[in-house]
């Protein structure tokens, strides 16, 4: 399984091609929109290329959800994301640094949640194994404490 | 153009109001939209896999006299448009043309050669990727065995109910303005001769 550093190197390559930036600009803290100049149409290009590069499938809205905090749905009031909105962001963007965003939770800052670090964590989670084997070779869920077939207790 | 026509046209501008339903110029009043068809005939469609269309370059096209005087060549941008129309139909067909297909991005395009009057450009499109949000195609343009251009094109799907579209009429986009008619051109050539039909009756 690739380490986060290895994932970062590949993501640097993907973004350099998709956004026409230098690899060195693609640092973990760089934001896609603010720092690297990505536009909404680039997101689809990035998704296509991440799928190809890492051999993963990314569902619609899984990496770049749409309408994250529209006014009128209680998630944002007067251009500021509410507590409910923050909870929703944590749920929909589990790899983003929502705590840092919560310091100044303006709707216009939501795009800053899309960082390279978020992409690395997203890909790492996608690549993480979902099953593990007990000593008898049974396939068990990665978070299982016991093998459901032979009862083996995982440490 | 009558006087009322003229004053409204200048007040709104011909294209500056796109996106606003209420202020959108009325095509009935301002005449037909410019034809924007940069393929002549659809030759082949393998659903979800590949498509081939052709474009005959001819001196009857006005723009070739300006591009360039004394050296007429098919403008690269219009070649790209033809490649996009070929790929756009390939992608649109996959969803029975339910979505509005819009050219979003051209990540790669390389021109190797040019096409001059008398040449037939063949656009071969291959579907690289397809998903709910859009798709990617790779298109190669050739004249005979000569490689003229190659491009990768990303399209996005929009739906006419999408609030971001602001009620823009799908007729303004890819699959209208008679573009789909190019698919019929090929069928017309394969139609039964009139004499046969008479014989059947």
SS (H, E, C) B140-158: EEEECCEEEEEEEEEEEEE
Q: Where are the domains of chain B?
A: 32-187
* Cα-to-chain-centroid distance, residue B19: 20
pLDDT of the residue at B2: 39
Residue-level pLDDT at B30: 58
List, for chain A, all residue ranges whose pLDDT scores fall below the cut of 70: 1, 70-72
Q: Is the pTM of this model over 0.95?
A: no
Give the Cα-Cα-Cα angle B110, B111, B117 (nearest 5 degrees).
Answer: 155
Question: A45 vs B132: CB contact, 8 Å cut-off?
Answer: no
Q: Is B67 annotated as catalytic?
A: yes
User: Architecture of A4-129 per CATH?
Assistant: Orthogonal Bundle (1.10)
- Cα of A149 vs its chain's centroid, Å: 34
What average pLDDT does this structure show over B153-175? 65
Q: Which residues on B lie below 8 Å from A48 (Cβ)?
A: 129, 136, 154
The separation between CA B67 and the C-alpha centre of its own chain, rounded to angstroms, equals 20
pLDDT at B196 (0 to 100): 54
> Considering only alpha carbons, which residue of chain A is nearest residue B103?
A41
Enter the tokens of residue B100.
């509005």
List pLDDT tens digits, range B67-87: 999 999 999 999 999 999 999
A19 Cβ under 8 Å from any chain B Cβ = no
Q: What was the pLDDT predicted at A153?
A: 87
Give me the mean pLDDT over the B49-55 stretch. 97
Please tell me the predicted confidence (pLDDT) of residue B124.
Answer: 98
Which residues in chain A are contacts of B133 at CB distance < 8 A? 44, 47, 60
Sheet holding B120-131, edge to edge: B41-46, B50-56, B120-131, B134-143, B146-158, B100-111
* Residue B14: predicted pLDDT: 30
ipTM above 0.90, yes or no: no
C-beta atoms of B132 and A18 within 8 A = no
pLDDT above 50 (res B171): no
Greater confidence (B197 vs B50) lies with: B50
Q: Is B105 on the interface with A (CB under 8 A)?
A: yes
Q: Where are the domains of chain A?
A: 4-129
3-state secondary structure at position B177? coil
CATH placement of domain B32-187: 3.10.129.10
Cβ <8 Å between A44 and B156: yes
Tell me the nearest-neighbour CA distance from A82 into chain B, angstroms: 24
- pLDDT at site B10: 27
Q: For B111-133, what is each residue's pLDDT tens digit?
A: 999 999 999 999 999 999 998 88
**Average pLDDT in the B2-9 region?**
33
The C-alpha of B134 sits at a distance from chain A's nearest C-alpha, in angstroms, of: 8
- Is A70 an 8 Å CB contact of chain B? no
What residues of A are in contact with residue B107 (Cβ under 8 Å)? 17-18, 45
Give percent above pLDDT 70 in chain B. Answer: 63
pLDDT for A45 equals 92
**Rounded Cα–Cα distance for residues A152 and A149 (Å):** 8
Q: Which of B51, B41, B43 is nearest to B185 (CA)?
A: B41
């Amino acid at each position: 399984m690739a380490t986060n550093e290895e994932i970062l190197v590949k993501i640097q390559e993907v973004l350099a091609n998709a956004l026409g930036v230098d690899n060195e600009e693609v640092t973990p803290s760089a934001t896609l929109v603010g720092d690297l100049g990505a536009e909404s149409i680039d997101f689809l290009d990035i998704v296509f290329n991440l799928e190809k590069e890492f051999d993963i499938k990314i569902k619609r809205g899984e990496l770049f959800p749409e309408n994250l905090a529209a006014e009128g749905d209680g998630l944002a009031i007067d251009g500021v994301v509410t507590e409910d909105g923050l909870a929703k962001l944590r749920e929909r963007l589990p790899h983003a640094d929502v705590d840092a965003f919560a310091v100044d939770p303006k709707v216009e800052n939501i795009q800053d949640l899309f960082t390279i670090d978020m992409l690395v964590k997203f890909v790492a989670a996608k690549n993480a194994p979902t099953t593990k084997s007990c000593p008898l070779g049974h396939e068990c869920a990665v978070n299982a404490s016991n093998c459901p077939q032979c009862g083996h207790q995982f440490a | 153009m009558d006087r009322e026509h003229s004053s409204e046209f200048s007040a709104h501008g011909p294209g500056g109001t796109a996106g606003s339903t209420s202020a959108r110029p009325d095509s009935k009043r301002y005449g037909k939209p410019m034809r924007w068809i940069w393929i002549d005939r659809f030759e082949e469609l393998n659903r979800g896999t590949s498509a081939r269309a052709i474009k005959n370059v001819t001196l009857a096209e006005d723009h070739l006299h300006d591009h360039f005087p004394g050296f007429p060549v098919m403008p690269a941008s219009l070649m790209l448009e033809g490649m996009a129309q070929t790929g756009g139909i390939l992608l649109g067909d996959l969803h029975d043309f339910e979505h509005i297909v819009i050219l979003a991005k051209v990540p790669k395009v390389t021109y190797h050669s040019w096409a001059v009057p008398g040449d037939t450009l063949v656009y071969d499109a291959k579907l690289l990727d397809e998903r709910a949000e859009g798709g990617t195609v790779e298109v190669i343009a050739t004249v005979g065995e000569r490689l003229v251009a190659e491009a990768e094109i990303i399209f996005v799907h929009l739906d006419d109910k999408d609030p971001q579209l602001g009620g823009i009429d799908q007729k303004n986009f890819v699959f209208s303005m008679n573009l789909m008619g190019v698919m019929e051109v090929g069928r017309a050539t394969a139609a039964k001769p009139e004499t046969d039909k008479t014989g059947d009756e």
